Amino acid sequence: MQIPQIRLHQTYAQIGLRTTQPVQEIEQIPAEQSIKQIPAKMNIERQPSHLEIDQEQAWNELGFKPTSLLSAELAEFSKQEGLEAVAQIAQEGDQLAAIENKTDPFSSIALEKANPGPADFNIAFIPSYGSVKLHYTPTKLHIDWEKGGAEIEVTLHKPVHNYTPGRTEVYLRQRQQLQIDFVGINVNKES
């Protein structure tokens, strides 16, 4: 004997997702930059050095004197020699006039003229030390700087941003079902 049965066949509901991905576009335009270099300036003021050499005294000591100086020195020397000669003649005349001293002035004057004293000499460096005079003025420099620099100009650009949002669409992919079957409802009467 068959016992009636109920058969259930169930199908679950299923959902589906349809997704569209988001799109993001970013474009960055580079910044524009201009640089202008201003050069530095240097100004130099220079006074050249100066050397003065005075050799007049050295040349004079060596005997290379100008005519005017040589004439003046010879005139002075002649005057001095003349005054000394007059003084000596006057002294000898005074000796000859002093007969009251009862001396022989002729012999003493002759002896003095016959045996002069030793000559006065010494070693001399010609020209003498320091006869050449030097005067030196060093170079003078004055330096001025004018700083340069740089002028920088920048133009910024904002980024270009495009965004398309994504979407998700939910749909019913499969409906739910419940199928009920009855098996063995008919009863076999023959048995």
User: What's residue 6's pLDDT?
Assistant: 83
User: What's residue 188's pLDDT?
Assistant: 54
Residues 1 and 35: their CA atoms lie apart, in Å, by 106
Chain segment 171-181, per-residue pLDDT in tens: 998 899 988 88
pLDDT at residue 115 tops 70? yes
* Nearest C-alpha neighbor of 143 from the set 30, 46, 14, 31: 46
Report the chain's mean pLDDT, rounded to a whole number.
85
Q: b/e map of 140-175 (b: 16 or more CB within 10 Å)?
A: eeeeeeeeeeeeeeeeeeeeeeeeeeeeeeeeeeee
- State the average pLDDT over residues 29-36: 91
Check residues 46 and 63 and name the one with the higher pLDDT. 46
> What are the structure tokens assigned to 163, written together?
């965004």
Q: Calculate what percentage of the chain has a pLDDT beyond 90.
A: 39
- Which pLDDT band holds residue 58 (cuts at 50, 70, 90)? confident
Which residues sit opposite 135 in a β-bridge?
A: 52
Among the residue ranges 24-28, 57-61, 128-132, 187-191, the one predicted with the least confidence is 187-191
Locate the domains of the chain by residue range. 64-115
Question: What three-state secondary structure class fits 186?
Answer: coil
102 φψ region: left (φ > 0), alpha (ψ -120 to 50), beta (else)? left
Residues 141 and 137: their CA atoms lie apart, in Å, by 12
The vertex-188 CA angle with 182 and 191, nearest 5°, equals 150
Torsion of CA 93, 98, 103, 108, to 10 degrees: -20
Chain segment 88-101, per-residue pLDDT in tens: 888 888 888 887 77
pLDDT at residue 14 tops 70? yes
pLDDT at residue 169 tops 70? yes
> What is Dmax (Cα atoms) for the chain?
224
pTM of the predicted model as reported, rounded to 2 decimal places:
0.36
User: What's residue 185's pLDDT?
Assistant: 64
